[in-house]
């Protein structure tokens, strides 16, 4: 690495994503990447991790034992480290190259943590909107003929089946959730936005069509959800060509 290569540089989000692993809302660095970037033998990085003077609790929280396959498909040991684990490990690494990569990893953690925080905030706001829409949809179901609990769950299951491939019970089993877990608490922000738009459209349709019984309600729910899915799956028009303007009828 030349002298110019060790000058501090501001990394991009793409750089950060290439340096860090993301799993279950946590960021990790692999001991393999540390060895590669800090120009050390992986065996020596493993030894340094094992020799760290830290509590058993800190080690358990910040160093996850893992493995990687060799070219001969043999599984070899490695560690996945959190920001704190990584910081403790590399603070003793010396030299210009070590300083350079320490700074880049710190920038990567800062960028990714800020992005994760933003995503959490957006998701929380979307979950709040979905609850408001859900209440409005439930009130609309009741106003337009729903009288039993299964009327409401049938409508929800119809949406889930069309958009996500299965009923609420199926999705709980598929994702390993408790039997009474609220599926919406485990949907992504995009999935929640899908539910918001579909249930909002259903509420409008029930009112416009003056629905008065659960069977017709369910037909409307399926129609709206299928229409929305078809829109999402429809191929996009070709780009780069002007859209023809329809002629005006006299």
Q: Per DSSP, what are the bridge partners of residue 77? A: 67
Q: Which structural domain, as residue segments, surrounds residue 88?
A: 4-116
CB-CB contact of 52 with 86 (8 Å): no
Q: Examine the domain organization and report whether 92 and 183 are in the same domain.
A: no
- Please indicate, yes or no, whether residues 163 and 71 belong to a single structural domain of this protein: no
Are residue 110 and residue 154 in the same domain, yes or no?
no
For the chain, what is the domain count? Answer: 2
pLDDT one digit per residue (tens) for the chain, 250 residues: 544 455 557 888 888 888 999 877 789 999 999 999 999 999 999 999 999 999 999 999 999 999 999 888 899 999 999 999 999 999 989 999 999 999 999 999 999 999 999 989 999 999 999 999 999 999 999 999 999 999 999 999 999 999 999 999 999 999 899 998 999 999 999 999 999 999 999 999 999 999 999 999 999 999 999 999 999 888 877 666 555 555 444 3
For the residues of 198-225, what is the DSSP string, one character each?
HHHHHHHHHHHHT--SHHHHHHHHHHHH
Q: Tell me, yes or no, whether 184 and 223 share the same domain.
A: yes
Same domain, 85 and 160: no
Query: Are residues 180 and 107 part of one domain?
Result: no
Same domain, 100 and 152: no
Q: Is 9 in the same domain as 111?
A: yes
Is residue 156 included in any domain, yes or no? yes
Q: Where are the alpha helices (DSSP H) in 7-95?
A: 13-19, 31-37, 42-50, 56-62, 83-90
Is 193 part of any domain?
yes
| Domain-located, residue 129 | no
Closest CA to 98 of 29, 30, 5, 15: 5
């Amino acid at each position: 690495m030349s002298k110019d290569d060790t000058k501090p540089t501001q990394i991009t989000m793409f750089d950060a994503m290439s340096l860090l692993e993301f799993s279950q809302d946590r960021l990790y660095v692999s001991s393999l990447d540390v060895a590669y970037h800090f120009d050390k033998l992986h065996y020596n990085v493993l030894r340094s991790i094992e020799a760290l003077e830290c509590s058993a609790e800190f080690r358990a929280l910040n160093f996850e034992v893992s493995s990687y396959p060799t070219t001969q498909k043999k599984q070899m040991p490695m560690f996945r480290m959190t920001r704190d684990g990584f910081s403790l490990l590399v603070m003793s690494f010396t030299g210009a190259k070590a300083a350079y990569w320490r700074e880049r990893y710190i920038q990567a953690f800062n960028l990714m943590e800020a992005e994760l925080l933003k995503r959490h905030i957006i998701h929380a706001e979307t979950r709040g909107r979905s609850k408001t829409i859900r209440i409005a949809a439930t009130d609309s179901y009741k106003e337009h003929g729903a009288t039993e609990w299964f009327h409401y769950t049938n409508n929800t299951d119809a949406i889930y089946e069309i958009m996500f491939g299965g009923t609420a019970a199926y999705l709980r089993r598929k994702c390993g959730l408790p039997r009474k877990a609220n599926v919406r608490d485990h949907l992504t922000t995009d999935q929640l936005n899908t539910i918001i738009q579909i249930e909002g459209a259903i509420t409008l349709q029930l009112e416009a069509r003056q629905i008065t019984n659960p069977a017709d309600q369910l037909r409307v729910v399926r129609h709206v959800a299928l229409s929305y899915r078809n829109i999402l799956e429809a191929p996009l028009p070709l780009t780069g060509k002007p859209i023809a303007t329809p002629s005006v009828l006299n």
